């Protein structure tokens, strides 16, 4: 059985206006390239929404926790990608979206979860409230009777290295992260979007499946520092920073407490080796090898390189 006959119905992509490390915008582009109509859900009308329209998407403004918004977004839709950034309202948003999706009789609901959930159960959790919300959301979707496909990536290369480590590499030639000697297998959000696009293009064979997506390799931060050195042509060192100082810095930048707590737990789990995992699920879905850190760093080299303008600004400050 194939469900490719529903090209005339739009596919709903939530979080479509996300920026760094987000899946939604990449997924929107990929689905349109495959000939699908895409309905892109955004929280606000801004330049990112306009870019989605220029790509060919139908843009709908709304809130995942708002019932009326989700009826507008889901009416006439057959397939849904559900992804949401780290938030205390994550569980509410999941159930609200799922309830409306079931009301409208969707044929596929692709849920973006986290691989940590693989190691959780009714008796085992972590100290991260977000991890607990993801686990509960998966339980609720299983109970819902919806045609669910669950995707569980490890941490993203984009968030891991661009958002959290780029400044240290650029300004001090160091990966400054509180990850101890733990090994980890970050995966590119672009690769994850490619896997989701394959699922949504023909979801029937995937209904009820769980896909655990890992990156090109699992290695410690000393190894990743060597990869940075090779890709950038200068020596990059790994510095294991104290977790408390790292989280204090995040709070100083105004990062919400819920996100800080989640990142702190993720760091502790990395130290414990909980992200030292490898699967071939990404290759099975896409037929492509995951993006290597070397290729990722070469692609984003400007983000890791201190320009004359950056250096002059630092002197003036």
In degrees to the nearest 10, what's the CA dihedral of 200, 202, 206, 211? -40
Task: State yes or no: pLDDT of 14 exceeds 70.
Answer: yes
Which residue has tokens 């915008």? 25
* pLDDT for residue 311: 46
* pLDDT for residue 20: 58
* pLDDT for residue 21: 62
For the stretch 212-226, pLDDT in tens is 999 999 999 999 999
* Assigned fold of 8-153+189-213: Rossmann fold (3.40.50)
Query: Would you say 294 and 230 are in contact if contact means Cβ atoms under 8 Å apart?
Result: yes
For the stretch 231-265, pLDDT in tens is 999 999 999 999 999 999 999 989 999 999 999 99
List the one residue out of 303, 175, 150 whose CA is nearest residue 239.
175
* pLDDT for residue 309: 46
Which residue has tokens 């409208």? 104
Q: What is the arithmetic mean of pLDDT over 302-317?
A: 60
Q: Give the start-to-end residue ranges of the domains of the chain.
A: 8-153+189-213
Q: What's the rounded Cα separation, in Å, for the pair 260 and 251?
A: 7
For the stretch 38-67, pLDDT in tens is 999 988 788 888 888 898 999 999 999 999
Task: State yes or no: pLDDT of 316 exceeds 50.
Answer: no
* pLDDT for residue 7: 67
């Amino acid at each position: 059985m194939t469900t490719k006959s529903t090209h005339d119905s739009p596919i709903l992509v939530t979080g479509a206006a996300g920026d760094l490390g987000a899946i939604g915008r990449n997924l929107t582009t990929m689905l349109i390239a495959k000939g699908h109509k895409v309905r892109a859900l955004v929280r606000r009308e801004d330049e990112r929404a306009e870019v989605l329209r220029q790509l060919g998407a139908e843009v709908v403004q709304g809130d995942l926790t708002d019932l009326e918004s989700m009826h507008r977004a889901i009416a006439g839709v057959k397939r849904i990608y559900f992804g949401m950034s780290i938030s205390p309202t994550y569980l509410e948003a999941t159930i609200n979206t799922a309830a409306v999706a079931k009301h409208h009789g969707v044929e596929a609901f692709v849920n973006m979860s986290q691989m940590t959930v693989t190691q959780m159960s009714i008796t085992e959790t972590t100290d991260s409230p977000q991890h607990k919300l993801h686990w509960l959301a998966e339980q609720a979707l299983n109970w819902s009777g919806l045609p669910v496909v669950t995707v569980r990536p490890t941490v993203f290369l984009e968030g891991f290295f661009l958002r959290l480590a780029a400044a240290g590499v650029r300004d001090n030639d160091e990966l400054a992260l509180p990850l101890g000697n733990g090994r980890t297998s970050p995966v590119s959000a672009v690769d994850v979007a490619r896997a989701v696009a394959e699922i949504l293009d023909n979801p029937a064979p995937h209904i009820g499946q769980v896909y655990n997506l890992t990156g090109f390799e699992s290695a410690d931060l000393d190894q990743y520092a060597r990869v940075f050195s090779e890709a950038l042509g200068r020596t990059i060192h790994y510095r294991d920073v104290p977790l408390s100082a790292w989280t204090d810095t995040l709070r100083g930048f105004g990062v919400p407490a819920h996100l800080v707590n989640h990142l702190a737990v993720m760091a502790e789990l990395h130290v414990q080796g909980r992200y030292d995992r490898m699967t071939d699920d990404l290759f099975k879905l896409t037929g492509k090898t995951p993006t290597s850190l070397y290729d990722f760093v070469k692609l984003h080299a400007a983000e890791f390189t201190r320009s004359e303008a950056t250096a002059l600004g630092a002197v003036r400050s």
